[in-house]
Structure 1
Amino acid sequence: MRCQEFVELVTSYLEGDLPEGDRAEFERHMELCPGCERYLDQFRTTMTLLGSLPAESISVSARTHLLEAFAGWRAGEDDGRA
């Protein structure tokens, strides 16, 4: 598993939605990659501190922009922004 795949699966992992084989591969990668283990810890901390955000807490235009950005990122697009 590559680090990008790990990052894409974090939410599913934390929600217990990964199939057994994927979960085992995810955990194996985490054991071998300190950066991804740290990312998972940071993600857990963020979720604990934030809890959840109501859908209405973000404007429609910001939501649309974020969804488009994530769709492009997942598809492997790069718009040149860092």
Structure 2
Amino acid sequence: MNNELSCQELVELVTDYLEGALSEMDKERFEAHVSVCYDCHSYFDQMRHTIRLIGRLSESALNPTVKDELLSLFRDWKKELPPADE
């Protein structure tokens, strides 16, 4: 069985990793991939930074319209990601 994590799998697991919700094996696979894949390392750093910044906002500080637009952009972006086997 191939134990390496693909870039697509990393994208799907990044939130669980940041929340400490991965199994030890998946955590190790995640960290191994990030250590050798420049694109995923950059993506991970951007996600970590974004989550840290968003965590500083109070719920009322984010206009509901802006929140909806951001969520829509994120969903559209995820749809454009290549399949895991590419």
TM-score range relative to shorter protein: 0.5 to 0.7
Count of aligned pairs between the two proteins: 75
- Bigger relative contact order (CA 8 A; separation at least 6): 2
The residue type equivalent to 2:23 in the other structure is: P
Q: Which residue of 2 aligns with 1:67?
A: 71
Q: Once the 2 structures are TM-superposed, how far is the Cα of residue 42 of structure 1 from its aligned partner?
A: 4.8
Counting aligned pairs with the same residue, the percent is: 44
Q: Once the 2 structures are TM-superposed, how far is the Cα of residue 68 of structure 1 from its aligned partner?
A: 2.1
The residue type equivalent to 2:36 in the other structure is: L
SS at match of 1:70: helix
| 2-structure distance, mates of 1:5, 1:54 | 31
Matches within 5 A, 1:1-82: 1-45=5-49, 47=52, 50=53, 51-74=55-78, 76-77=79-80
Could you say if the C-alpha distance between residues 69 and 13 of structure 1 is closer, same or farther in structure 2, counting changes exceeding 3 Å? same
TM-score for the superposition, normalised by structure 1? 0.61
Could you say if the C-alpha distance between residues 34 and 73 of structure 1 is closer, same or farther in structure 2, counting changes exceeding 3 Å? closer
SS at match of 1:13: helix
Name structure 2 gaps, 5 residues minimum.
82-86
